[in-house]
Structure 1
Amino acid sequence: MTAPVGIVLVSHSAEVAAAVASLARGLAGGGATAPIAPAGGTPDGALGTSSDLIAAAAHEVDRGAGVALLVDLGSAVLTVKALLAEEDELPKGARLVDAPFVEGAVAALVTASAGGDLAAVTAAASEAYTYRKE
């Protein structure tokens, strides 16, 4: 079996990132899942985003198959884009995914856990925009 894609959930809140990671693990069917890590808030526990926390989480989940980074709000996007622009800040194959945070996280983890490559994980997370709730 090939290495799984890693997933990082970037939120302005450590609690939100951790809760969405826990929810995704639970909805991914239990058992072994692809690596997923929250990167929320700042190192001192305040609301915000931290390049250091994001980079550490990305390296933690990297198994060589790429890392999908899902973000909650605007400045999280900017922080991840800045990291992607810098050489060696994030693992090779790290990619910012345009997806809804909660639904995208679940879809990404399910797909990565089933052995999907980075393109499949990105597509599954992005397709979560089409989930209708009516």
Structure 2
Amino acid sequence: MSDDQEKRVGIVLVSHSAAVADSVAQLATGLAGGGTAPVRAAGGNPDGGLGTSPELIAEAAHGVDQGAGVAVLVDLGSAVLAVKALLTEGDELPEGTRLVDAPLVEGAVAAVVTASTGADVDAVAQAASEAYEYRKV
């Protein structure tokens, strides 16, 4: 990235399934009109099975880090625990990485759209969290 380009908040989508994480990343990016925020999926474990991998999460977070923060959205309990463990270790994730309490699909769309506008990590986290308020009936 050149110095004159605006840094964007990176988005990491963590699921117990690589296919789910990849699909949500594709959906969120597509609904954001292609978006300009960097997005990475961190799904499953390294051998391709179901689970979560701290290594894949950390790799994805470093891959999207542009210096504006990284918002991490997760699907289920052990994904939360994996991200929290990485955050408490201190140096495993880029500075400014935040675990966001949001539904994975709706939150990912809101996060990518908001990050693509150049919003800061607080605004991205808030937009993703507000997706809990989306009602379908």
**So what's the TM-score if we normalise by structure 1?**
0.97
1:59-74 to 2 correspondences below 5 Å: 59-74=62-77
Offset from partner CA, 1:90-116 (integer Å, 9 cap, x none): 000000000000000000000000111
Counterpart in 2 of 1:121?
Answer: 124
Match for residue 24 of structure 1 among 25, 28, 44: 28
* CA distance in structure 2 between the partners assigned to 1:60 and 1:80 by the alignment: 16
Deviation string 1:53-76 (CA, Å, 9 cap, x unpaired) is 000000000000000000000000
- State the 1:2 CA deviation: 3.1
Residue type of the partner of 2:19? E
Question: In structure 1, what residue type is equivalent to 2:69?
Answer: G
Superposition pairs of residues 5-84 of structure 1, within 5 angstroms: 5-30=9-34, 32-84=35-87
The letter for the 1-side match of 2:100 is V
CA distance in 1, matches of 2:90, 2:128: 25
Offset of residue 29 of structure 1: 1.5
Structure 2 unaligned blocks of 5 or more: none
Q: Report SS of the residue matched to 2:99.
A: strand
Amino acid paired to 1:65:
A
Q: Which 10-residue stretch deviates more, 32-41 or 49-58?
A: 32-41
Structure 1's unaligned 5+ residue stretches are none
Dislocated runs of 4+, deviation >2 Å? none
Across the two proteins, how many residue pairs are aligned to each other?
A: 133
- Across the aligned residues of Structure 1 and Structure 2, the Cα RMSD in angstroms comes to 0.8
Q: Percent identity?
A: 73
